[in-house]
Amino acid sequence: GNSVTQMEGPVTLSEEAFLTINCTYTATGYPSLFWYVQYPGEGLQLLLKATKADDKGSNKGFEATYRKETTSFHLEKGSVQVSDSAVYFCALKGFQKLVFGTGTRLLVSP
């Protein structure tokens, strides 16, 4: 079945550092890919998405490119802020339900 694998956290960075959170997937067909973010005490919010190979999703300075050849959808940001501290979930949507990775906690210190 469809599955998503994310890097283990927590990822600890200083403010203005470069961020990469790795995500790889296993799926049949051509899934859509997503990054969701969960801030403390809140539900998940859609951060960005890509629906086909080579698409780049972007939002709030975050980017991820749908790489079919490496089955990856890594999340990047050039300069993180303390307010980016949250849990980030990679997800894929095949024919039916949305499947989430286990989440990666990001901690950004001043």
Q: How many angstroms separate the Cα of 81 from the Cα of each of 12, 15, 23, 76?
A: 12, 5, 21, 13
Range 5-64, binding another protein (CB under 8 A): 32, 34, 41-46, 49
Q: For 73, list phi and psi in degrees, rounded to 5.
A: -155, 65
Widest pairwise Cα distance in the chain: 43
Locate all alpha helices (DSSP H) within the chain, ordered by sequence. none
List the one residue from 64, 91, 106, 108 that touches another protein (CB under 8 A).
91
Q: How many residues bind another protein (CB under 8 A)?
A: 22
Any contact of residue 3 with another protein (CB under 8 A)? no
Any contact of residue 103 with another protein (CB under 8 A)? yes
List contacts with another protein (CB under 8 A).
32, 34, 41-46, 49, 89, 91-93, 95-103
